[in-house]
Amino acid sequence: MQAIIQKEDIHEIVEGLSLDKEVIAPVLLPDGEALYSPIKRSDRVSLDSSHIPIMSAKEFFFGSEEELFQFERTSSQDIKITPAAEPKDRVFLGIRSCDLKGVRFLQNFFEKPYNDETVTRKIEKTVFISLGCVAPAEHCFCVCCDGGPFLVEGADAQLVDLEDRFFCETFTSRGEEIFSHHQNLLKPAQAEDWKKKSATIEKVDQRFTQRSYMAVGVKETSMNTVPEKVWEVLENRCMSCGSCTYVCPTCSCFNVFDRSTPEGGIRIRTWDSCSYSGFTREVSGHNPREHTRDRLKRRFFHKLSYQCLRSNGRIGCVGCGRCVVSCPAFVDMSTFVTLLRQAKSEKTNG
């Protein structure tokens, strides 16, 4: 289905969806930033793509703190285990292409070799209506990572902003089903709508200021030919704060521990970060990645090279630019690839 929806009609669609499903959408915060959030009242939804939500979408599928199961001491020598509840049906409206790509990436990762349904089930039960980005933010570089801004793969439907109206296209039966309940708000797309959409898409590509040429990053890491000079600079900047891993749509490392209560307790999974020196510390005290340099190498090699082998060739970076915004020390993905290109060109120019 390809249709036009008037901007003012979106809130009615959201209210309709909220009746029987949880709706997640970008919301405008008091300071002007956007954040993906479960929706309570539809007028808080913001489908203005000029603000990339400050956190990625992974929180809703792979939570920053999540209960895996509960256990209860039923007697001095017995225990009862109650698994976490089954996830509910949801609609994710307004997810950006980069974040959707990140979610599909995590889906692929958590499915094999063991299917972690605490994550994959949530993804399966969510309908994704993505929002094409007509106004990229300063640090976005999804175009360099095959991550957007009008990615179709993985979406159930997509909205493209044509200034006074949305162009809405469905790609799956689930997407069709969502909009079938609002036929009265849909007008079939006409030739001039198609034209405007194509023109919009073309214009947007030219607005990207960051061109990181990720191919160089992938090549050099896969061949293990990154000049040591690059690591020298980065390791003296990096403060191991872990911000990059927290905001990254494809980062998935975690920690598991129990929290006791008088009756028993719960087993919790929380996000963890390979940036921290303690991440690989063994009980004996030995730490194979004691030095910042080794952790940085791990991060970039994992994102650009090792992951590809397990993810059907998809690299671990979607170009959302959040690490660029959140890193306090200029050790983000864009900087890495830029430094790499500089170092390589210095080498060849002697």
Partner 1 sequence: MDNIYIPLKARIVSISDDTLDVKTLELQLVDGDKKRPDFSPGQFLELSYFGVGEAPFCISSSPTKTNAFDVTVRAVGSVTRGLHSLKQNDIVGVRGPLGNHFPFESVKGRDILFVGGGIGLPPLRSLINFMLDNRSDYGEITILYGARTPSDRVYKAECAEWARRDDIEFMETVDLGDSSWKGRVGVVTTLFNEIKPVPGKTTAFTCGPPIMIKFVIQGLLKMGFKPDSIITTLERYMKCGVGKCGHCAIGHKYICTDGPVFSVAEIERLPEQP
Partner 2 sequence: MPLVKINGKQFESSWEEAIEKASQGLQKVVQKWGPDSVGFIGSTHCSNEDNYLLMRLARDVVKTGNIDTNNRLTYFPILDAFHECLGTGSSTATLKQVAEADFILVAGADLSGTCPQGASRILEALNRKAELAVVDPRATKLAKLATYHLKVYPSTDLYWINGMISHLIDEGKVGADFIGAKTAGYNQMRKELAGSSLSLAESMSGISAELLKLVSEHLVEAEKAVIVIGSGLTDTQDIKRVARGLINLALVTGHVGKEGSGILMVGGNNNTQGAWDMGAVPDRLAGAMSTNKSTQETYGDRKSGSLIGKDYLGILNGVVSGEVRALYVMGEDLLTFTHFRNGLQEALVNLELLVVQDLFPTELTKLASVVFPASAPYESSGTYANLERRVQRFDPILEPWRDTKADWEILSAVSQSMGADFRFKNVSEVTDDIASLISSYRGITSANLNKAIEGITWPPKEDGHPGEPWLQDGWKGKFSTALPEEGDRLETSEEYPLLLIPGRLSSFWDTGTRSSRINFLAREEIRSAIHLNPEDAKSSGVKGGWRVRVISPLGRLETAVVITEELPKGLAYLPIHKIDGDLQQLSKRSVPVRVEAF
Which of partner 1, partner 2, none interacts with 298 (beta carbon under 5 to 8 A by kind)? partner 1
**In this structure, are residues 92 and 45 in contact, taking their beta carbons and an 8 Å threshold?**
no
Which of partner 2, partner 1, none interacts with 126 (beta carbon under 5 to 8 A by kind)? none
Rule CB under 8 A: say whether 116 interacts with partner 1: yes
Quick one: which segment of 15-23, 119-127, 203-211, 327-335 binds partner 2 (CB under 8 A)?
Answer: 327-335
Rule CB under 8 A: say whether 219 interacts with partner 1: no
Which of partner 2, partner 1, none interacts with 199 (beta carbon under 5 to 8 A by kind)? none
What's the burial of 278, exposed, middle or buried (CB within 10 Å: 0-12/13-18/19+)?
exposed
Site for partner 2 in 20-49 (CB under 8 A): 30-31
Rule CB under 8 A: say whether 108 interacts with partner 2: no
Site for partner 1 in 306-325 (CB under 8 A): 306-307, 309-310
Rule CB under 8 A: say whether 113 interacts with partner 1: yes
Rule CB under 8 A: say whether 279 interacts with partner 1: yes
Quick one: which segment of 156-164, 203-211, 271-279, 327-335 binds partner 1 (CB under 8 A)?
Answer: 271-279
Beta bridge partners of 221: none
Q: Toward partner 2, which CB reaches closer, 237 or 267?
A: 237
**How far is the C-alpha of 119 from the C-alpha of 99, rounded, in Å?**
15
Integer-rounded Cα radius of gyration of the chain: 22
Q: Which region, left, alpha or beta, applies to residue 87 given φ > 0 means left and ψ of -120 to 50 means alpha?
A: beta
219, 307, 339, 350 from 344: Cα distances, Å: 12, 23, 9, 10
**How far is the C-alpha of 322 from the C-alpha of 162, rounded, in Å?**
26
Rule CB under 8 A: say whether 240 interacts with partner 2: yes
**How far is the C-alpha of 267 from the C-alpha of 71, rounded, in Å?**
8
Q: x/- string (CB under 8 A) for partner 1, residues 80-109?
A: -x-xx-xx---------------------x
**How far is the C-alpha of 2 from the C-alpha of 12, rounded, in Å?**
19
Q: Which of 192, 282, 312, 349 binds partner 1 (CB under 8 A)?
A: 282
> How is 247-302 classified by DSSP, letter by letter?
H-TT---EEEEEEEETTEEEEEEEE--TTSGGGG--TTS--TT-SHHHHHHHHHHI
Please count the CA atoms within 13 angstroms of the CA of 199 that sit on its side-chain side.
Answer: 8
Kindly report the length of the chain: 350
Rule CB under 8 A: say whether 292 interacts with partner 1: no
Q: x/- string (CB under 8 A) for partner 2, residues 262-291?
A: --------------xxx--x---x------
Min CB(283)–partner 2 separation in Å = 9
Q: Which of 180, 194, 257, 310 binds partner 2 (CB under 8 A)?
A: 257
Rule CB under 8 A: say whether 283 interacts with partner 1: yes
**How far is the C-alpha of 69 from the C-alpha of 265, rounded, in Å?**
9
Rule CB under 8 A: say whether 329 interacts with partner 2: yes
Question: How large is the angle between the packed helices 117-124 and 97-111, nearest 10 degrees?
Answer: 140
**How far is the C-alpha of 163 from the C-alpha of 303, rounded, in Å?**
36
Rule CB under 8 A: say whether 269 interacts with partner 1: yes
10, 21, 199, 279 from 170: Cα distances, Å: 16, 19, 20, 43
Q: Toward partner 2, which CB reaches closer, 1 or 329?
A: 329
28, 44, 246, 322 from 31: Cα distances, Å: 8, 14, 21, 18
Judged by the rule CB under 8 A, the positions of this chain that interact with partner 1 are: 68-69, 71, 73, 77-79, 81, 83-84, 86-87, 109-110, 113-118, 121, 224, 252-258, 260, 264-265, 267, 269, 272, 274, 279-284, 286, 288, 294, 298, 301-302, 305-307, 309-310
Judged by the rule CB under 8 A, the positions of this chain that interact with partner 2 are: 30-31, 232-233, 235-237, 239-241, 255, 257, 276-278, 281, 285, 328-330
